[in-house]
Structure 1
Amino acid sequence: MRKKRFEKNMTDLPWRFFKKIALAQALVTSLAIIATGFVATYYLRTYIIAQSKIQLAGSLKIIKESLSMTKLDPITWCNSLTFDPHNRYTLINRKGVALCDSFIDWKKLENLSHHPEVIQAFQNNYGESLRYSHTLSKKMLFGAQIIEHNNQKYIIRKAIPLEPIYKNIYKFDQSILTILLPLILITSLFILLKLLHAALPFRSIFKKIDVLKKLSPRDANNFVLGQNRDWKLVEETLDHAKEDLENYIHELYYENEKFNTLIESISDAILAINKQNKVLFINKRYREYFLEDFTLDSKSSNCSFYSITKNEKVKEILEKALESETSFTRENIKLPINKAGDGYFDLSITPLYDASKKMFGIVCIFHDVTSRRLNEKMREDFVANVSHEVKTPLTAMKGYVQYLKSKPALNDQDTLKSLEKIESNSNRLNILFQDILNLSMIESRPQIKKENIFTEEITNSVLSNVRQSYLNKNISVITKFEVESIQGNPLLVEQVLTNLIDNAYKYSKEPGHILISWENNLKNGCILKIEDDGIGIPSKDIPRLFERFYRVDTSRSRKLGGTGLGLAIVKHIVQKHGGKISVSSDEGIGTTFRAEFPSTQNNLPLS
């Protein structure tokens, strides 16, 4: 009876599945046991070496205490040592010169100051290292201990050969291997027996697979499984999985419809394209803004983006985004709008990635900033007009002050002092309104005219001008030029240099140092770096440093004549060149400004 049951179970067994899972389980178990053996061997080796290090350190400590108590001269002690193949002692002076060695003639030894155990001993009074000894041609464990005798420091170095330790470990490895092989065999047999029982319920799964594949009953790959041992639980699980999959597909369709509705309702224009320049998605707002054919649906995957994007600048930006595979933004791009003239847009581009983290396209968001642009233009015009109107009476005031100062009869001490205050504040107002005008003009320029600028020439020119205002300050300036020339607007780049160098002079301590360098950055172009060792900037003020009229210390800025617009002007000039500016500072130590100018073909490094 038992024989017939066994024969039926063996006939019903899904051998194809059983062989795979049995082989995998045996392999995993064997690897686990072998890995356990290797780990045990590794930790044993580590433990033995660690214990050897502890014993080595302890023996050197005992020698140090013994010499200290007996006040025995270390050289005399070392010379009295006899040859011991398991312990080598070397006495070393503070210069790393061997004074005695229990193994070989110490006069033949090289200077030992570069050995790691000696370096550690000089630093921490004790050092150790596990390394190959070229003198003895074997791997050794070295320990070095600082001792003092008659106000002189010596190092006693002890070395233990590792060959006996490794021999014992090798014997242990052999023992482990002897144990592991029978263990793997017994474990594999036990797993095979268990899998015989575990594999039987899988008949129903293979039946369903056979039905799905529509295999013939005579097919050699088909399993002939009985009907009396169906695994109902697995069958029900598969049925539930089928229902869950159908529900998931329905929910996915519903979520997709919601997503499409959301995208269509967004006020920004959205365009998605793949790496083959084919349109993946466009929303309603994009069609209204830029497409003459409004009937083009949101999923026009057969359409090339060249056919729906006429602006050459946008095409260039999108091509660059596909090539670089990075996110970036462009502001105030002027684009024609259908039946509405020109508009201004902020363009934001983000890469699209698939499940394997590989980029397959980009999504572009066109944010309409036409109204904001018009408001900015009105503000800029207003600021320019007001500044111009204010400068006229200021000029008249300065003229009258100079006239009154030229009349000796009217210039008593109090009157002269008042006139100088009027003139000083007039000059200050004039500088303030000039900075406001400069900032307004920089912001209003959609583009700047660039030409070749020689970095050394423009830097020396600005330095010469700025120094005239600080002739009484003891400041030394160092310049470095890795870049010969850049592409930019000479007047604006000169303004950047003037404002940053003037700040460095203004806030430097005496005697002080300023470093001005043009550094070559092969990835991002070139970097203008201005460093000083001045008073520094508190970390809480750095995020707002480039805001208009922001002052770190209001009283100090007024005393030194700042308007609060210099760094705002610098930021806008650098941004107009397509770059960015940053600052790092340690309060009381100094400040570093970094202005990055993007790479162009005309940025020439020094040869």
Structure 2
Amino acid sequence: MLSTLSSIGLWALTASLIGWWLGPAAGLGVLAFGLLLMVLVSGLHISRIARWVGNLEQPPPPSVGPWDNILSPIYRQLRRDRQELIELDRQVSAIMMAAEALPDGAITLNADMELQWCNRTACEHLGLNLATDRHQRIFNILRDPSLVAYAKQSSWDAPLIMHINRDGLSKTVQLQLTPYGLGQYLLVTRDITQVEKLETTRKDFVANVSHELRTPLTVLLGFLETLRDIPAESISLEQRLRYEEMMLEQTQHMQAIVADLLTLSTLESTPTIEGEPVNISNLIHSALNQGQALSGGQHQFIQDIDPNLGIVGIESELGSAISNLLTNAIRYTPKDGTITVSWQSSANGDAYYTVQDTGIGVAPQDIPRLTERFYRADKGRSRSTGGTGLGLAITKHIMMRHNAELQIQSRLGAGSRFSLRFPASRVRAMPCSS
């Protein structure tokens, strides 16, 4: 503004001098020319500024007269605002990426409980599709009365547990609603299917342990009460010895259950170690000697054992797994049945310990559950064989600790084939035993 007034004053002074020298008409002409020239230059500056306003990303035009002092601070502020916007966009993007990476689902709802945004985890938990479900009420999407009742509460101190069946799969999801901002809500989802399964397994385990111990305890209590209540002379020595023998059997059964439970607890709580090379053929021959004694000559045993094939592992654990499979085959194979034991390597370098029998076999629906603790496919027959119901659970844990796998093939009434597959990385060549 000051420069414009200075320019006008300079032209007026020039016009006054020329008017004094050449006359008033010449002075007025010079003044009019000067003012016209200033208007034309100002128009040129304004047109350049107008072009710049159309693209504020570019620096302002240079040399626009009095506008220079106005445009420069405006441009500097625009640059600062642009940098702040870029930084804000970067922070928002980082926040959105973090929200997408959350292991829990996150859903934002407006005051009408309409879905505004959700991350991928929430889509997986609840089957949402942000493209089609945005601005839809969450009640219309999920259609669960328990969710409606939960959302109508005045506060949400406890989460809601929902059981969702979708695409043939059952899932348990925990939902927690939290208000934030002004009339906004955050719905956090968490998949607790595995947690619920573990809790069910824990409850079943406690119930099964109680049930397994109750039977021998009931037998013991019955015999002890009988021996206490009847006169000594009313029972023969032969009956007393039979009662004592049966009590001893039940006590040994309880002792076996407790020992297997302690073994399982040890396997689950102790860290896995690499171990050292173990001569598996020696362990198999030892298990066969014990198995033949248990069989009492009622079964035929076929052996195919490579004496030079060893495994890096823990000898006591491997011996337990080997013995468990052989003992099961003997218990569940009728008299005159055949049990085939093999220990060989495959073409890809893996090693297989296999026990195949001609026993009673297992129904297809029972095979996936055989390694569960205390699970018995045939409860009546299983109890009569004297097993604890924990042998295969122990074997599975031992295999997991050795990066190995328990494989089960069976057909009801046609026998079973149990195999321990050890990866080639654990296989070692052993010197021939003399």
Q: Which band: TM-score by shorter chain?
A: 0.3 to 0.5
Q: Which has the higher contact order (CA 8 A, sep 6+)?
A: 2
Normalising by structure 2, report the TM-score.
Answer: 0.47
Normalising by structure 1, report the TM-score.
Answer: 0.34
Which is higher, the Rg of structure 1 or of structure 2?
Answer: 2
